[in-house]
Amino acid sequence: EPEVTQTPSHQVTQMGQEVILRCVPISNHLYFYWYRQILGQKVEFLVSFYNNEISEKSEIFDDQFSVERPDGSNFTLKIRSTKLEDSAMYFCASTPTSRNQPQHFGDGTRLSIL
């Protein structure tokens, strides 16, 4: 079964540094998403992406965050100047063309900010 893959599985970064989290969505999917989950808390929506632009974003997704689809396969989340509170699991998800399909999640990147 096709999978969403994410790299790295764990990223440790000094506060104030930039990080890029990478995702390879399922190949025929057209809608892409980032979510985060702070340890012990619920999964929170960050941003959705379709047709090479952001469709929706949450209040969490402020100016320090950006997303990009630099080529035909990768979908990246960049955090420009990381804060301690950015430490979380970051999940990428994708869906195919139909809006009624459930989302498939990657196994996440654990981001630890020191």
Partner 1 sequence: RKEVEQDPGPFNVPEGATVAFNCTYSNSASQSFFWYRQDCRKEPKLLMSVYSSGNEDGRFTAQLNRASQYISLLIRDSKLSDSATYLCVVVSSSGSARQLTFGSGTQLTVLP
Which residue stretch of 11-19, 20-28, 66-74, 105-113 sits at the interface with partner 1 (rule: CB under 8 A)?
Answer: 105-113
Nearest-CA neighbor of 113 among 93, 94, 88, 77?
88
Q: By CB under 8 A, is residue 87 in contact with partner 1?
A: no
Instruction: Name the nearest CA neighbour of 38 among 88, 86, 90, 110.
Output: 88
Q: Which of 17, 41, 73, 81 binds partner 1 (CB under 8 A)?
A: 41
Stretch that binds partner 1, among 15-23, 29-37, 60-68, 70-78 (CB under 8 A): 29-37
Judged on CB neighbours under 10 Å (0-12, 13-18, 19+), 62 is exposed
Minimum CB–partner distance for residue 84 and partner 1 (Å): 20
